[in-house]
Homo-oligomer: A and B are copies of this chain.
Amino acid sequence: MNLKSFFNPKTIAIVGVSESKKKLGSVILQNLIDAKYKGEIVPVNPKYVKQKFNGQKCLAKVSDHKTALDLVVIVVPASSVEKVIDDCIKNKTKNVIVISAGFGEIGNDKIESKISEKCTKAKINLLGPNCLGAIFPSSGINASFSDGFPSKGHIAFISQSGAFCTATLDWALQKDIGFSHFISLGNKAGLSEIDFLENLAEDPQVKIFALYLESIEDGAKLIELIQRISPKKPIIILEPGKSRAAKAATSSHTGALSPNAQVTKAAYRNAGAIQVFSMREMFGLLEVLTFNGNKNFGKRVAILTNAGGVGVLTTDLVEDEHLELAKFAPTTIKNLGKKLPKEANIQNPVDLVGDADGERYRVALDILGNDPNIDQILVLLTPQRTTQVRATAEFIAKFAKKTKKNVVASFIGGRQIKSGLGILQKNKVPSFDFPSDALEVLGLLANKEHSKVSPTIKTKRDIKIETLLKEAKKLKSLPASSVYQIAKKYKLDTPQSQNFTDFKKAKNFAQKFFPKNVVLKISSPDAIHKTELKGVFLNVNSVKKFEEAWQNLSRSIEIAKLKEAEIQIQEQIESGTEIILGINTDPNFGKVLLFGAGGIYTEIFHDTTLRVLPTADFPKMIQETKIGEVLQGARGKKLAARELIKIMENLQQLVFDYPEIKSIDMNPVIITPKRAVVVDFKIIL
């Protein structure tokens, strides 16, 4: 989809202009005029055909315009929109923005689909409906009913909520943060975030993407775009609805279903986006990236303060944001010691002490600026008797301009610091009300993942497995025997095991293991929740116990009337570390791999991590979890890690070879010093 004429229209018609200044049509017209739009404005409204707006004759309908219009903005009641679209088609209009509300968001999906289909067929780009419009400051275009016109800048802001647009705009005007593109997506009946990311990826005006999304259109495509764009241009994503409480609320708003929060988080993060969860984070990032986008955002933070306690308080929060307190180079400490009074703390956090003037800040900043062990610098100021708020702000600004380190400030107080805040803003030094707010943003920037391109997986199908899967299609899960065939094929180590219906044969098999333990369980396509069915006997290591278990299970099979039931006798894998591996199919992002603490701990500690497949990120997955630490501390740890990665690779191969497998559950996989054994292995179709 080419949006060139959308971003640079030579002609813009407004359907729904009005005499009343309060009507949205008038507001949009005035906004266009105020923005100094250089193209032709075409007012349209059958009520006012005799009149002129902005010196232009008002047309009754779009098709009265002689040539094809580049952009038509529609602000008429929902019920009349379709007719206007028909007329746009007649005019060969290239782009349409439907401001009008009253569509999918209140349940009128039918009419929304209709106008969407018509636009698609006519190759008209459609923005909206139910949106604020679009603003392109550098082209002098404000085709929206916004209150205020943002300055030119480098943020492409794309939001699915109009209110979020107006709040952001109001904030940005006060902070003097500029935009290249400011787009309200509305109900996304036509253009979506995908189209804008594609069309703006290479636009030199755009240096930062900020997305507010309530639903996503094409997860795989979105991830691919993030992977491609994020190494050059940071992409911030704010997506409401991560909590259970919010899920219910979201569905009633903009008609969007919220995706699985954990999967989304993993998908965005690993593609290289910065996901945020509050407006505070979003605005903070926009400020820092706008002012300091080309600076160093490493993890090693230096804190400079004129209040020791406040420095320590701030240091406390460094770990919480996954940052590191920079360890100064010896020359830094030597030079600080030379230049600062003896009461000062010359280690990080540097305490200039209460009587620090601007000059002392300047000297310290210059020394920190030369330290290669520092990535980001947070400058704190509390207003004390001899504090020079203005001079200090000036020195910070001067220093920030010349250094490659990311310098941000937090002046804490009220009336006395105001003049300093003004100087910081004028000089484009990001500044935060509280040190905690600053660290939050520094942490988000430092912990942005490097975008990784997904590996290509060569697939290969085996007719035997294909048949197994096809035959089992009516069943919920694959029978144990088939699972073990697949395990063998994909080199997954499983316990020695055999199924029996005959007591004597079973006993002979089991006895070979004693006094080692075996496990007895029911094997039947009907028995999913085995423990509840009293279907598992552990620690069977004598004939007596075996007989007891066999009788119990046989009775259970009878009572539950299980079909095709057998009793499975399985080597019991002794004490090891229990982990879980799983595959799931996400409606937005496709196949997802889960790794983490297994057994009873999966549900309790939620010590798990996810990747959208395909991935080659297996070692990192292990590192990310706490159970990974256990494995690294275990005997035979190298083997454990190597075997685990092999299992993960083979698991990925399996679901790419047979995408008809919907989910796989391996819980637990037991890691012993000698083996990594898949003890419980379920395949769901």
Residues in B neighbouring A600, C-beta threshold 8 A: 577, 630
Q: Is the CB of A212 within 8 A of B434?
A: no
Task: Known A515-B542, A574-B539, A607-B605; judge A315-B212 contact (CB<8 A).
Answer: no
Q: Residue-by-residue, is A518-544 near B (CB-CB < 8 Å gives 1, otherwise 0)?
A: 000000000000000000001101100
Task: Known A412-B167, A415-B173; judge A280-B437 contact (CB<8 A).
Answer: yes
Q: Is the CB of B319 within 8 A of A244?
A: yes
The stretch of A84-92, A155-163, A459-467, A582-590 that contacts the partner chain: A155-163
Q: Which one, B280, B342, B385, B607, contacts A145 given CB within 8 A?
A: B385
The stretch of A36-44, A247-255, A657-665, A676-684 that contacts the partner chain: A247-255
Q: Residue on B with the closest CB to A317?
A: B278
Q: Residue on B with the closest CB to A166?
A: B384
Q: Which one, B148, B280, B309, contacts A434 given CB within 8 A?
A: B280
Q: Which one, B163, B414, B538, B627, contacts A174 given CB within 8 A?
A: B414
Q: Is the CB of A241 within 8 A of B312?
A: yes
Q: Is the CB of B253 within 8 A of A345?
A: yes
- A416 on interface, CB distance cutoff 8 Å: yes
CB distance from A604 to the nearest CB of B (A): 5
The stretch of A46-54, A346-354, A474-482, A666-674 that contacts the partner chain: A346-354
* A511 to B170 Cα, complex, angstroms: 81
Q: Residue on B with the closest CB to A248?
A: B347
- A329 on interface, CB distance cutoff 8 Å: no
Residues in B neighbouring A354, C-beta threshold 8 A: 162-163
* A574 to B572 Cα, complex, angstroms: 14
Q: Is the CB of A414 within 8 A of B249?
A: no
Q: Residue on B with the closest CB to A244?
A: B319
- A279 on interface, CB distance cutoff 8 Å: yes
* A433 to B212 Cα, complex, angstroms: 19
Task: Known A244-B319, A417-B170; judge A163-B106 contact (CB<8 A).
Answer: no
> Could you say how many copies of this chain the assembly holds?
2
Q: Which one, B172, B306, B310, B416, contacts A170 given CB within 8 A?
A: B416
* A260 to B351 Cα, complex, angstroms: 23
- A489 on interface, CB distance cutoff 8 Å: no
Residues in B neighbouring A319, C-beta threshold 8 A: 243-245
A164-B309, A601-B605 are known; give 12 further A-B pairs, CB within 8 A.
A101-B343, A106-B342, A161-B308, A170-B383, A173-B414, A243-B318, A245-B316, A246-B313, A250-B312, A514-B515, A515-B515, A605-B607
Sample of 9 A–B contacts (CB below 8 Å): A145-B385, A147-B383, A161-B309, A173-B415, A243-B318, A277-B313, A604-B627, A604-B630, A605-B605
- The chain A residues found within 8 Å of chain B, CB to CB, are 24, 27, 101, 105-106, 145, 147-148, 160-164, 166-167, 170-175, 212, 214, 238, 240-246, 248-250, 252-254, 277-280, 306-313, 315-319, 325, 342-343, 345, 347-349, 351, 354, 382-385, 412-417, 433-437, 514-515, 538-539, 541-542, 574-575, 577, 600-601, 604-605, 607, 626-627, 629-630
User: 5 nearest interchain CB pairs?
Assistant: A174-B414, A163-B307, A170-B413, A161-B309, A253-B308
